């Protein structure tokens, strides 16, 4: 089984990714002492820039091939906020952030939104970088619903469904999610690359 460092300290993201990439062993930075103090600032203006910053920082510090993710919620009537600032939109916990989004939407009729995830592959051995993007469209609920998932899941209703990501079963959410789409695109590329390396 191939080992790849997943540049996140978010146990929810790591668990979700491992459930999707079942044939790969994802290593957490928390088990590698050399990475204890690695915490690159997410200063990029796009998800792609932030994913690259993280992948390169962890790859160069560890010498291991890395995947890193940047993801967030874009709400159309809020000029695509919180966007790349989703994890730090306001101080506090996930609940504080999604309640702030609901508060900002109180007077809005357009509740269209989308989740975006970008996966960056980086191999420090040859400086190879690849990007993979996944999106899922939907709308923001009137109130939080459900306790599954994390982040903004309790307020996001994917297109074609009545339930929020916070209410959907994990296996259903995985099939729909932005993270699944980006990770699946990476995995398809990884498998094709592995075959090419063997021939």
Give which of 108, 91, 102, 87 is closest to 155, Cα–Cα.
102
Percent of the chain with pLDDT over 70: 97
Quick check: helix, strand or coil at residue 5?
strand
E strand or H helix at 160, and its extent? Answer: none
pLDDT tens per residue across span 45-60: 999 999 999 999 999 9
pTM of the complete model: 0.91
pLDDT tens per residue across span 154-193: 999 999 999 999 999 988 988 899 999 999 999 999 988 8
pLDDT at residue 195 is higher than 80: no
The end-to-end CA distance of the chain, in Å, is 19
The domain spanning residue 142 has which CATH number?
A: 3.90.950.10
Distance, CA of 42 to CA of 83 (rounded, Å): 12
- Mean pLDDT of all residues in 115-122: 98
What's the pLDDT band for 135 if we cut at 50, 70, 90? Answer: very high
Q: What is the mean pLDDT of the chain?
A: 91
Residue 108, domain extent: 2-198
What is residue 42's predicted lDDT score, i.e. its pLDDT? 86
Distance, CA of 137 to CA of 144 (rounded, Å): 18
What is residue 198's predicted lDDT score, i.e. its pLDDT? 57
- Residue 70 known to be catalytic: yes
pLDDT at residue 99 is higher than 60: yes
> Exactly one of 39, 70, 123, 162 is catalytic; which is it?
70
Q: Are 78 and 105 in contact (CB under 8 A)?
A: yes
Looking at the structure of the chain, the number of domains it has is 1
Asked whether the CA dihedral 73, 75, 76, 78 is positive or negative, the reply is negative
What is residue 171's predicted lDDT score, i.e. its pLDDT? 86
């Amino acid at each position: 089984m191939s080992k790849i460092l997943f540049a996140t300290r978010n146990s929810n993201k790591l668990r979700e990714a491992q459930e999707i990439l079942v044939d790969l062993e994802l290593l957490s930075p928390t088990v590698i002492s050399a990475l204890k103090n690695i915490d690159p600032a997410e200063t990029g203006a796009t998800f792609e820039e932030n994913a690259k910053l993280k992948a390169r920082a962890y790859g160069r510090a560890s010498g291991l091939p890395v995947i890193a993710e940047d993801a967030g919620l874009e709400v159309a009537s809020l000029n695509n906020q919180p966007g790349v600032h989703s994890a730090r939109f306001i101080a506090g916990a996930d609940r504080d952030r999604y309640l702030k989004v609901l508060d900002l939407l109180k007077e809005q009729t357009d509740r269209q939104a989308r989740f975006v995830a970008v996966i960056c592959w980086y191999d420090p051995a040859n400086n190879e970088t690849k990007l993979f993007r996944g999106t899922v469209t939907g709308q923001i609920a009137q109130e939080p619903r459900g306790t599954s998932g994390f982040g903004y899941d309790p307020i996001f209703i994917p297109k074609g469904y009545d339930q929020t990501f916070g209410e959907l079963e994990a296996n259903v959410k995985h099939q729909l999610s932005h993270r699944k789409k980006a990770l699946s695109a990476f995995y398809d590329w990884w498998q094709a690359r592995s075959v090419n390396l063997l021939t």
